[in-house]
Amino acid sequence: MSLALANRLADATIASCRAIGKESVVAVVDRGGSLVALQRGDDVGPHNTLAAQRKAFTALSTKSSTSVLAQRSVDDPTSRNLVTVPELLLLGGGMPLTVDGDVIGGIGVAGSGGAANDERCATQAILQVLGQGSARR
């Protein structure tokens, strides 16, 4: 995950959220979970910065969207303990970043008015920057 790619993803995410009249925080992590890029829109609560980072880490680590993971923790008794792992945030808005079938990082969005908006902004940015097939849940 280059800095240039991470910044393109962050820029596209902020623009996607603004297109629906929302501000947000976006975090992009590399395949090792290290933060590469972080952008925060105007007037977004400070707790959303950490939430975006944790969503990005969770999506990378589990190779799953955080909304799917959140639902799995409710529906599958064997997954319920995931909520006890402090590094994971089971709240929609995190997506793994996939190129040619390989997970190269994760993106997390927070503060745009709910998990559905957060995921929408992330998904649109991924499609714009990485192309079709990269924004799988």
**What CATH number is given to the structural domain containing 92?**
3.30.450.150
In a domain, 137, yes or no: no
Longest distance between any two alpha carbons in the chain, whole Å: 41
In a domain, 102, yes or no: yes
Q: Which domain holds residue 29?
A: 3-130
User: Which pLDDT score, from 0 to 100, does residue 133 have?
Assistant: 58
In a domain, 56, yes or no: yes
In a domain, 136, yes or no: no
Q: Which amino acid is at 28?
A: V
Tokens representing 130? 């990485």
In a domain, 135, yes or no: no
Number of separate domains in the chain: 1
pTM above 0.85, yes or no: yes
| 121 closest CA partner among 81, 94, 99, 100 | 94
Question: What are the pLDDT digits (tens) for 41-76?
Answer: 998 999 999 999 999 999 999 999 999 999 998 898
The average pLDDT across 73-86 equals 86
